[in-house]
Amino acid sequence: MIKVENVKKRFGEEEILKGITTTFDKGKTNLIIGQSGSGKSVLLKCLIGLFKPEEGRIYYEENAIQDMDEEQQRILREEIGMLFQGGALFDSMTIEENVMFPLRMFTKMKKSEMLDRVNEVLNRVNLDNVNKKYPSEISGGMQKRVSIARAIVNKPKYLFCDEPNSGLDPKTATVIDNLIQEITHENDITTIVVTHDMNSVMEIGEKIVFLKNGVLVWQGTQEEIFKTDNKDVTDFVYSSDLFKKIRDIQNKEQ
């Protein structure tokens, strides 16, 4: 579980996060949604420690990041897996080396054990025969899956995903979404996904946090988001023609 208490983040004079308070549940896919510029990615970067908030506290279980020294933060980060928007694979390494990287850095496993684990996670994300290829030699969807494999290879307790579907076709995006949810449930990890894709909300959103202009304006479950009267949320959800039509059909049926 990750708890956020009154987190504020400023860049110069501009306040990007204006006191966010929420909880991200263990064993669930938690979604942070909102329009571009709403502060989703900044909140994510505060959670993983790439940005330091000016105010507020972030708790991993009972321990606040703000109270941890550098070594404790480093140990915490070993328990974090991160899927970046662009994959962030090391382009000078092969797929196998990319996925093996966290094991080489943080474990004392033998090479054969590491290779077994790499093959296990690559198999889990449905990738075969790519071990010796370089990131530039595989498709965007495959890169995302390799990135997921790298994020989970060291059995993290927390998984963060920044716009996992950006640049992917709808079918591949659904595959990635489902993969993230399955891995979350299989390993009972706390997963936080930043997205503005309503399909992801439909597919995997178990707990949803909605941000607007740096303010948390709504939070709830997948069922609740389609029933809420909050105008900001409904404007966002029904900005898509598809969802508008679904709503109209549902209204007619009732």
Partner 1 sequence: MKYLEDIGSYFLMIKRVFSSPTKTSVLRELIFKEINDLIISSLGIVAFISFFVGGVIALQTALNLTNPLIPKTLIGFATRQSIVLEFAPTFISIIMAGKVGSFITSSIGSMRVTEQIDALEVMGINSLNYLVFPKIVALMIYPFLIAIAMFLGVFGGWLAGVYGGFTSSTEFVQGLQQDFIPFHLTYAFIKTFVFAFILATVPSWHGYYMKGGALEVGSASTKSFVWTSVLIILSNYIVTQLLLS
Give the nearer residue to partner 1 in terms of CB position, either 32 or 198. 32
Q: How many CA atoms lie within 13 A of 7 on its CB side?
A: 32
Is residue 209 within 8 Å of residue 32, measured between CB atoms? yes
CB of 165 to partner 1, least distance (A): 16
CB of 146 to partner 1, least distance (A): 12
| Rounded CA separation 237/32 (Å) | 13
CB of 9 to partner 1, least distance (A): 16
- Contacts of residue 138, Cβ cutoff 8 Å, sequence gap at least 6: 95, 130, 146
Nearest to 180, CA basis, from 170, 171, 169, 189? 189
Give the nearer residue to partner 1 in terms of CB position, either 82 or 193. 82
Give the pair of three-digit tokens for residue 177: 């979404």
CB of 134 to partner 1, least distance (A): 14
Give the nearer residue to partner 1 in terms of CB position, either 82 or 233. 82
Instruction: Give the interface with partner 1 as residue ranges (CB under 8 A).
Output: 48-50, 70, 73-78, 80, 82, 84-86, 88-91, 101-102, 104-106, 160
Give the nearer residue to partner 1 in terms of CB position, either 121 or 208. 121
| Rounded CA separation 51/76 (Å) | 15
